[in-house]
Amino acid sequence: MAAPGARDDSGRGRFITFEGGEGSGKSTQIKMLSERLDGAGLRTMMTREPGGSAGAEIIRHLLLSGMGRLLGAEAETLLFAAARDDHVHAVIKPALDQGIWVLCDRFFDSTRAYQGGPGKVDPAVLNAMQRVTIGDLEPDLTLILDVPVDVGMQRAKARRGAGVADRFEAEDVKFHEGLREAYRQIAAAEPQRCLLIDANAPAGMVAAKVWRAVRDRFAEVDVSRVANLA
């Protein structure tokens, strides 16, 4: 039995976030990890930020259209915080409480990296918003996919095809170099939670690194259930 006032995480799902710059392969790796965890008998849910819930998806449209940028860096950060608050309370926490493993494409580290790095929003502002929106909810594991900026931008361009670059894809190389450095600093500052993964490789090779990291971190991942997951 848990001590009085202590949080009892028995039966709680795990919360894994994927971070990285544009074109780092987060969506691909989340899907591949979800399939492996499902094969190991664990229930998973894939989600994303900004977005992931009805209210947050509306805000996502505003943010990626560039509307937030017109309002200024602090106001744009507030929009991200509002989206995250809805996402956390409507989707993430209920899923974790049901024992579901939540795999999220971006979380608060993206705000730290994008708005706090090249965006230059005061860290005190970011910390205050983090306390309000997520409280003590932190990922059990954060996988930061690292690729050279030129590689990531080429991937992003190929992915969107004839489409128009979104708010962040359209930023210049200097912005993306600063973003990559911000993520590296986050990984170095919180090694217990974060793992920096070299994602400048074929998707299968990166997926093997991701899978190894998850197996090493969580005892619940029983690869013996499915032979080809080892």
Under the banding of pLDDT at 50, 70 and 90, the label for residue 222 is low
* Distance (Å, whole) CA 183 – CA 114: 9
Encode pLDDT of 127-140 as tens digits: 998 998 998 899 99
Domain-embedded: residue 125? yes
Q: Over range 181-201, report the average pLDDT.
A: 96
CB atoms within 10 A of CB 43: 13
CATH of the domain at 24: 3.40.50.300
Domain-embedded: residue 3? no
Domain-embedded: residue 175? yes
For the entire predicted model, the pTM comes to: 0.88
Beta carbons of 60 and 106 less than 8 angstroms apart: no
Q: Determine the structural domain holding residue 203 and report its residue range.
A: 15-46+99-216
Task: Look at residue 225 in the predicted model and tell me its pLDDT.
Answer: 56
* Distance (Å, whole) CA 113 – CA 20: 9
DSSP H/E element including 25:
none
Q: Classify strands 44-48 and 101-105 as parallel, antiparallel or unpaired.
A: parallel
Instruction: Return the higher-pLDDT residue of 117 and 33.
Output: 33
What are φ and ψ of residue 169, in 5° steps? -60, -30
Task: Look at residue 112 in the predicted model and tell me its pLDDT.
Answer: 93
Domain-embedded: residue 190? yes
